[in-house]
Chains A and B, each alone.
Chain A
Amino acid sequence: MKIQSIEVEQFGIWRNLSLPLKPQGLNVFYGPNEAGKSTLMKFIRGVLYGFQQPPADLAFPPQSRMGSLKLIVDGQTGSVARIARDSGRGRVGFEGLGLDGPVDDQQVDELVNHILCGTNETVFENVFAFGLREIQQLATLEADDVERHIYGLSLGADGQRLLSLNDRIAERRRELFQPAQGQGKLFEQFRDFANVSKQIDAHNESQDKHRELSGRRDELTVRIEKMKRHQDDLRMNLRGHKFMDRVWKPWSEVHELEKELRRMPQIGSFPNIGPEQFDEIEAELEQLKQTRSQLMSEASRLKRQSLGIDVDSELRKEALTIQSYIDEMEWIEELAETIDVGEVESADLRERYEHKLRELGEQAANGHTVNTSPSAHYRLIRRAEQFQQATRRKEKFGKRIQRLADQCHKRGLSLSEKMKSLGGLSIEQSQGQSQACFDRIAEVSQLRLEQTELQQRQRAVLEQLETSETRLVLPGWVQFVLWFFVAVGVALTIGGVVTGLTTNWFAGLAFVFLGATFVGMAWGGKSHFEGEVIAERQRLHQEHLANERRLTETQESLEQLSESIPGFTHGASETELMRRVATWAKDLEQMADEQEAIKKFRRRLSEMRVKFQDVQRDLTTHQQEWCELLIDIGLPETLSVPDAIEAWHRIAEVDQERQKWKSVESELKRHRSLLNSYKKRIEALGRRMNRWDADYSDPVEILNQWEDELRSYGMQRSEKRDCRREEMAKRREAAKLKSRIRDLKIKRSAILVQSGAADREDFQNRASAFQRQREVLELLALAREELAEVTSAEKELAIVESDLVEYDADKNAARIHELETDLQQLELDLNAAHEEMGSLKHEIAQLRNDNQAASMRFDRELVASRLRDAAQEWFAMEWAASAVEGLRSRFEKNCQPEILAAASEYLERMSCGKYENVWTPLGERRLRLDDYQGKSWSVEQLSRGAREQLFLALRLAMVRQFASDGVELPLVLDDILVNFDQHRGDATIDELIDFAKNGQQLLMFTCHRHLAEQFEAKGIEPVWLPEHQQSEQRRAG
């Protein structure tokens, strides 16, 4: 839409203004302040979009016409007027533009919308018609309708991707490292590393501690050594004093004894016996004498006593014999008792034997002849077993044979029944037949196949014959030619004949020959055409006949064969036949198997029969042996095995009873004879002892008597013997005493002589002296020994005699006590030191064995490794983020909305190259400028003039964009160049002029003369707006 002219009837300060405009290009209007420039801009906007309600005092009367704009829309001219209303923004009216006549609101709206190209007032105000105020504020470009044109409808796929990556990068940063918040994988690893390092540091005192402990250990070692040396010194000292103490006593003793020894008289030799002992000798002597005399008197008494004892000599003589009999008395009593018991038993046994004998009956007669020995019993049992086994074997064998024979017979019958179906033929013959049937069936199938082939062949031959028949029929033209030839030949022949007959025989012959030739040719031709076919047909016919013959033969053979196949039915297939024959063959096979089995049975049966004979012979042998055994034993041979065994047992039992009885009887007899012989001997003994009056019937009585007598004889005898023995002992003792007395007397004399004493008193004195001397010497020796022992125990120590002389025991004891006390204390101190050493060594060993530090350092390395990995991730992320940042930066530079690209061009020119690029950061709705140095500026950082240039450039770009989208509206600028400097103003004017050259209608209002002149200098004649005068028609220009 282009505005052709502005017709203001009444608006603002304008009344009846008619302002023509250039529809294309730049229209510059110059007017001073308050000339109504902005009013004109409002008027244009108001007519197009509706007037805004003025203040009440300036309100237009309703229904008053404001004015109109003459427009060119789509090549049509017309005008748009707006009439004020009481409320609202005025009613629009049209003239021309295709809407003459009454129109409804919808049509009006549609036209308005069309004229305005669908733009709203906001867009018009912010983009197409703006003044200085609008151009200074970014906010005027931030309306949604405008903003979306600047920043683009969408970022595009790549833009969205880059935008979303920001979030991902931010998230990744949070994941990895947020030190301010104390979060992130890297932060955690730093923290872990610090913790482990701290633990290690805390633990790393071990080396110092080890050094300290080692130092203390060394010190302690030195101290212990010192204490030990001191201890040794004390011990040595104590030892010395104790030694002194030990030595002093024996030394003083020795000293005293030596002194005494020197004082005593020296007795060279003295018998080794003292006065007491001398007295003892004498006392002993006296004692011995007394004892001897006692013994002698005792012996005499005993002798008298023994002589007074008197014994029975006879008894004495036979005492041994009597004693032996007495010893046997018990046995005799037992023997008598045994005899009594035996008699009772014998009677019982006899009775039992006779009872059993009666029971045995007639066998009793033979009972005594039967061999009832264990060997006979064994033989009997064994033979019986063998006989019975042989019998059982025979029976079993017999049964088996019978069973087998029955089975054989039964199966034979079954087979015979089956073989009846063979029609008198054997199974082998039948099998041969079945095999032949198989062969025939095969042949039949072969023949059938052949028959089928022949039939097919026959059909083919017939077809060929038919075909050849048709071939016999020559084509029409051939027949025509042939008949022509025949006709010509006949004609010539006739002609020749006639000619030959009439004119020239040679010519006639020639004609005949020619005619014959023609006929022959025709015939030859026909024959040639038909010959092959006929030959073919003949061949085929012969073949047909041969096939027929063969078919017939085949059929006959087939019938013969079929009939020879048992079970054959016409129409049965080979398969069916085969099946039947196979079944038959199988039956035959089964019969053959059965036959074979029966044969086997029979063979086995005959073998078994042979074996049965052996068994029978064996049985007979055993039976014979059995009979012989029975005879041998003494039993009847006709007895059966059980009877024989039973009979033998019974006889053996009776025989056993008899033997028992007999043995008891013989035993009894023996006992009686023993008893009688004993009685006789006792009687004989009594007679020898002249005891004729005794009753010898009861030997036990006699023996009891003799036993008593013997006992008393023994007592007397032993008494006498004791007396004698005692007497002898006394006498011997007395003899011993006598010799001892003699020895003692000699000894006493010798002692006196040896000692040089005259008598006992003298001896005593000398003995005392000698004794004392010896004692002293002994004591001296002991003391010296003791001294030597004491001194040898302490070889390292030496004592000076003067010390011993000056020795004070109390002082020494006190010193010893003191030393011991010191030693005890030292011991305690040493123990404490050793304990301390032990604990130090333990601690040192613990430190040395402590692997915790190494383990912690290892853990720290693991943490360090994880830290490096996390750091690697972080650095990689940052590196990738920086690359993404680069992408983003390039994207922002290169993928900007077209408007910004266009605005960049305008701005670059308007700013004389200072600002090269206008762009918006990705995802943001704000503008950035890049200057010629590549530095990026925000809008807020720009100067006012630059900002105005930016916003102007944006508007120009948007207008261009709108124009490319088909939105053509005039651009109305109200004094927007005021803040531009000379150069930029100039550049902007050039830009506006260029801009307008592309068909855009541009209305430039200014109150600055220099600007008007600048335009004028560039060939744009400005329109000078008149000064304002009320109620006069103003005509501009």
Chain B
Amino acid sequence: MSTQGFRFVHASNVLVDHQLRDTGPLPDKLRQIAQDATLTAFERIVDLCIEKSVQFLMLTANSFHHRDRSLRAQTALCSGLRKLGEHGIQAVIVPGEHDPLAKWLRIPNLPDNVQVFDANSSSITVDHENMGSLALISLADMDFDESEHADGWGSPLSISIYDGPVDFAVPHEAEADEDESMVDHSAEAADSEEAHFQEPQAPEPAEASVGYEEAEADEVLETEDFDELIEIRETLGNYAGDYVAVVDAEKSFTVDAAHGIAHDPGTPQAIKPSQSGPQGCTLVEVDEYKNLILRPIRVASVRWERPEIQISPETTQNDLAKAIEDRFRQIETHGGESLWLINWTVRGSGELFEALHREDVASSLLVSFTTQLRFSDEAHVQHSIGLLPDWQHRTTGESVLLMDFLSTLESEMPLDTDALIHLVDGAHGVEGPWSGRLRALATKLDPDAVMASAYQQGLDWFKDDFDDAQ
């Protein structure tokens, strides 16, 4: 361990040159940004390491996706790692599910400054020619011997790699709350549970350099005691290590571990809309007493946001536009984003809600968003609207059949994947390989969205008949 402190950058799930999902069709310029998003994020991580003069970069899990078989990813990784080597910065690679060790070993001409962690071997050491042994990286182990834990001044920082499951599934009440918190995703971030997954809160965006954004740092960060984190904390609290690097949680969070902290930096670039909000990596500063200061750094060039707007039958289009605009202005920007993909979810019922199903109404709303709701000339914003019916509110004057239909649907809530799979079994004209494909697709769908579509489908069927009957 160096007697003078050091820094390293921890990034996870970089997935270089992996494609983004559910962006929707994009114009050529924005498509290029989206296509290069993960590459850009990795380049920014490399530039960050050089600018901050870190001693090493740790990439945990899924630095690329082997199924992509992307030469571009391989080239970019080698080039970036080589660039780090030229600046005397080492790189530690911890393979993950999608970038297993075997695939790393097949990469030709991996630079000399790169060490690939093999879970079968005991550990690897990160040494610095002037500063000595900086860190000892090993697999997280519950059966640790306290006496072996080197806690003294000058001992290397022990980094444990935890690649076990991290389940953020929450109880029903909390889930409902989470739905509510979706309404003001960022604005209430300070109060919502989700805020505590993205630590620390950045009070003011610092001036971005090299395309990334650095937030204010705090002391060693702890999460508050929320129900859904108890299990995680209990799990991770059993693992030793000054720094437990969580590999695959898909969310940024920090909890106490047995002797230090457990941290997942999240993903540097969101791949899908569910990874909304600012994304990045973590700059870890270690002093000579192994006190850790974690600073999240925003490196993503493409950012999703999924704000939700609640409307009632009395809401007018102007009210809706105003609410959307207000909500938009609450979104915090961090300067490095080139493309924003804002998926507005409008929940409610009433005439306006029904009108939004019409393409011309939705299109005109989107056109007004595109011209009015922008952050800056450099940041492109692409808006889309999704509609979720409000089950509690029904339009009056509906036919009995429609109400029966809706009641039938409601009785099936909450819809789950098994129910969707079950649908395949009873579907007309679906047999053979198609059945398997549909089952596979069923696992990828959001049951709530399916339910909303079924709801709307029913409205289309029954309302037309009802109107005709009227």
Q: How distant is the Cα of A851 from the Cα of B39 in the complex, in angstroms?
A: 12
A187 to chain B, nearest CB (A): 9
- Docked Cα-Cα span, A874 to B445, in Å, equals 11
* Contact mask for chain B residues 388-406; partner A; CB cutoff 8 A; 1 contact, 0 none: 0000000000011100110
A453 to B200, CA, bound (A): 93
- With A157-B469, A875-B442, A876-B450 as contacts: A858 and B74 at CB distance below 8 Å: no
CA distance A5 to B461 in the complex (A): 60
Contacts of A886 in B (CB 8 A): 408
Chain A nearest Cβ from B344, distance in angstroms = 17
From 196 to 254 in chain A, residues with beta carbon under 8 angstroms from any chain B beta carbon are 204, 206-207, 210-211, 214-215
Evaluate contact between A865 and B19: CB separation under 8 angstroms.
Answer: no
Q: Which residues of B contact A206 (CB under 8 A)?
A: 69, 71
Return the contact of A868 from the options B18, B25, B445, B465 (Cβ within 8 A). B445
Question: What is the CA–CA distance of A162 and B428 in the complex, to the nearest angstrom?
Answer: 18
Of residues 34 through 86 on chain B, the ones whose CB sits less than 8 Å from some CB of chain A are 34-36, 68-72, 74-75
Q: A179 at interface (Cβ–Cβ under 8 A)?
A: yes
Contacts of A173 in B (CB 8 A): 428-429
User: Taking the complex as formed, is B108 at the interface, i.e. its CB lies under 8 A from any CB of chain A?
Assistant: yes
Interface string of B10-41 (1 = CB under 8 A from A): 00000001111111110000010011100000
Residue contact A161 to B19, C-beta cutoff 8 Å: no
**Which has the most chain A C-beta neighbours within 10 Å: B17, B70, B72, B434?**
B72
Instruction: Answer whether A879 and B401 are a contact pair too, CB < 8 Å, given A214-B108, A858-B31, A872-B445.
Output: no
- Whether a CB of chain B sits under 8 angstroms from the CB of A884 is yes
Q: Which of B118-126, B158-166, B452-460 contacts A (4 or more CB under 8 A)?
A: B452-460
Distance in Å: Cβ of A955 to nearest Cβ of chain B: 33
Q: Across the two chains, which residue of chain B brings its CB closest to A189?
A: B441
List of A residues within 8 angstroms of B20 by Cβ:
858, 861
Q: In the complex the two chains form, is B71's CB within 8 Å of A877's CB?
A: no
Contacts A173-B429, A879-B415 given; indicate if A853 touches B71 (C-beta within 8 A).
yes
Interface contact B404-A887, CB-CB below 8 Å: yes
Q: Which chain B positions have C-beta within 8 A of A165?
A: 461, 465
Distance between B132 CB and nearest chain A CB, rounded to angstroms: 36
Q: How far is the CA of A398 from the CA of B25 in the complex (A)?
A: 92
B136 within 8 A of partner (CB)? no
- Check A853 against B70 for contact (C-beta < 8 Å): yes
Nearest opposing residue in chain B for A853, CB measure:
B70
Closest to B409 in A: A883
* Chain B proximity mask over A845-887: 1 for CB below 8 Å, otherwise 0: 0011011011101101110110110011111111110111011
In the bound complex, CA of A18 to CA of B436 (Å): 77
A179 touches B22 (CB 8 A): no
Residue interface mask A472-486, B partner, CB < 8 A = 1: 000000000000000
- CB-CB < 8 A to B172: which residues of A? none
Q: Is A164 an interface residue (CB 8 A)?
A: yes
Q: Across the two chains, which residue of chain B brings its CB closest to A162?
A: B401
Q: Name the residue on A nearest B430 (C-beta).
A: A179
CB pair B449 A872 closer than 8 Å: yes
**Interface presence of B420 (CB below 8 A):** yes
CB within 8 Å: A-B pair count: 151
Q: Is B71 a contact partner of A862 (Cβ separation < 8 A)?
A: no
Report how far A943 CA is from B35 CA in the complex, Å: 69
Cβ-defined contact, B35 with A877, below 8 A:
no
The answer on a CB contact under 8 Å between B454 and A864 is no
Smallest CB separation, B452 vs chain A (Å)? 8
Task: Count residues on chain A whose CB falls below 8 Å from chain B CBs.
Answer: 54
Interchain CB contact under 8 A, A883 and B19: no
Bound complex: CA A847 to CA B452 (Å): 45
Interchain nearest-CB distance for A876 vs B (Å): 3
Minimum CB–CB distance for A887 against chain B, Å: 6
Please report the C-alpha to C-alpha distance between residue A872 and residue B452 in the assembled complex, in whole angstroms: 10
- Do B454 and A883 touch across chains, with their CB atoms under 8 A apart? yes
CA distance A204 to B65 in the complex (A): 13
Contact of B423 with A by CB under 8 A:
yes
B19 adjacent to A861 (CB under 8 Å): yes
A180 CB-CB contact with B under 8 Å: yes
Is there contact, CB below 8 Å, between A862 and B23? yes
* B461 vs chain A, min Cβ distance (A): 6
Contact A161 B428 (CB under 8 A): no
Do A873 and B453 touch across chains, with their CB atoms under 8 A apart? yes
| Chain B residue nearest to A172 in the complex (CB) | B457
Across the interface, do B461 and A872 meet the contact criterion of CB distance under 8 Å?
no
Complex Cα distance, B453 from A873, in Å, reads: 7
B38 CB, min distance to chain A CBs, angstroms:
10
A179 CA to B434 CA, complexed, in Å: 8
Contacts of A851 in B (CB 8 A): 35, 72
Query: Complex Cα distance A157/B467, Å?
Result: 12
Complex partner residue of A848 from B19, B71, B449, B455, CB under 8 angstroms:
B71
Q: Which residues on A sit within 8 Å (CB–CB) of B428? A: 173
Which A-chain residue is minimally distant from B466 (CB atoms)?
A161
In the complex, what residues of B have CB within 8 A of residue A860's CB?
A: 19
Q: Mark A883-911, 1 if CB is under 8 A from B, else 0.
A: 11011001000000000000000000000
- In chain B, what residue has the closest Cβ to A859? B19
Near A by CB (< 8 A), chain B positions 111-164 give: none
Taken residue by residue from 134 to 169, chain A's Cβ proximity to chain B (1 for < 8 Å, 0 otherwise) reads as 000000000000000000000001100110110011
Q: Are B71 and A207 in contact (CB under 8 A)?
A: yes
Within 8 A of B (CB), among A952-980: none
Bound: A579/B421 CA distance, A? 100
B71 touches A850 (CB 8 A): yes
In chain B, positions 404-435 with a C-beta closer than 8 Å to chain A are 404-405, 408-409, 412, 415, 420, 423, 426-430, 434
Question: How far is B26's CA from A861's CA once the two chains are assembled, in angstroms?
Answer: 12
- A158 to B429 alpha-carbon distance, docked (Å): 27
Q: Is the CB of B445 within 8 A of A858?
A: no
Which partner residue on chain A sits nearest B465 by CB separation? A161
* B371 at the A interface (CB under 8 A): no
Is B232 interfacial (CB-CB < 8 Å)? no
Determine if A14 is an interface residue (Cβ-Cβ < 8 Å). Answer: no
Q: A190-B437, A860-B19, A879-B454 in contact; A887/B449 too (CB < 8 A)? A: no
How far does the Cβ of A862 sit from chain B's closest Cβ, in whole Å? 6
**Cβ of B455 to closest chain A Cβ, rounded Å:** 8
| A883 vs B404: C-alpha distance when bound (angstroms) | 9
Q: Are B453 and A872 in touch, CB under 8 angstroms?
A: yes
A158, A214, A854, A861: the one contacting B70 at CB < 8 Å is A854
Residues of A within 8 A of B109 (CB): 214
Partner of A168, one of B420, B423, B461: B461
Select B457's contact among A162, A214, A865, A876, beta carbons within 8 Å: A876
A209 to B69, CA, bound (A): 11
- Find chain B residues with CB under 8 A from A853 CB: 68-72
**B294 on the A face (CB < 8 A):** no
Chain A positions within 8 Å of B401 at CB level: 158, 161-162, 887
Residue pair B454, A877 in contact (C-beta under 8 Å): yes
In the complex, are the beta carbons of A871 and B441 less than 8 A apart? yes
B462 close to A (CB within 8 Å): yes
Chain A positions within 8 Å of B25 at CB level:
862
Give complex CA distance A164, B466 in Å: 12
Check A325 for interface membership: any CB of B closer than 8 A.
no
Across the interface, do A875 and B69 meet the contact criterion of CB distance under 8 Å? no
Given contacts A179-B429, A883-B409, contact A158 B400 (CB under 8 A): yes
A862 to B446, CA, bound (A): 17
Check if A763 is an interface residue, CB within 8 A of chain B.
Answer: no
Cβ of B69 and Cβ of A207 under 8 Å apart?
yes
Q: How far is the CA of A715 from the CA of B451 in the complex (A)?
A: 139
Residues of B within 8 A of A874 (CB): 438
A1033 / chain B contacts, CB cutoff of 8 Å: none
The CA-CA distance from A177 to B435 in the complex, in Å, is: 12
> Is B454 a contact partner of A876 (Cβ separation < 8 A)?
yes
Q: Does A178 contact B (CB under 8 A)?
A: yes
A-B residue pairs, 3 tightest by C-beta: A876-B453, A876-B454, A883-B408
Query: Which residue numbers of B lie inside 8 Å of A, CB to CB?
Result: 17-25, 31, 34-36, 68-72, 74-75, 106, 108-109, 399-401, 404-405, 408-409, 412, 415, 420, 423, 426-430, 434, 437-438, 441-442, 444-446, 449-458, 461-462, 465, 469
User: Can you name 5 A-B pairs with beta carbons within 8 Å?
Assistant: A161-B465, A853-B72, A868-B444, A872-B445, A879-B423
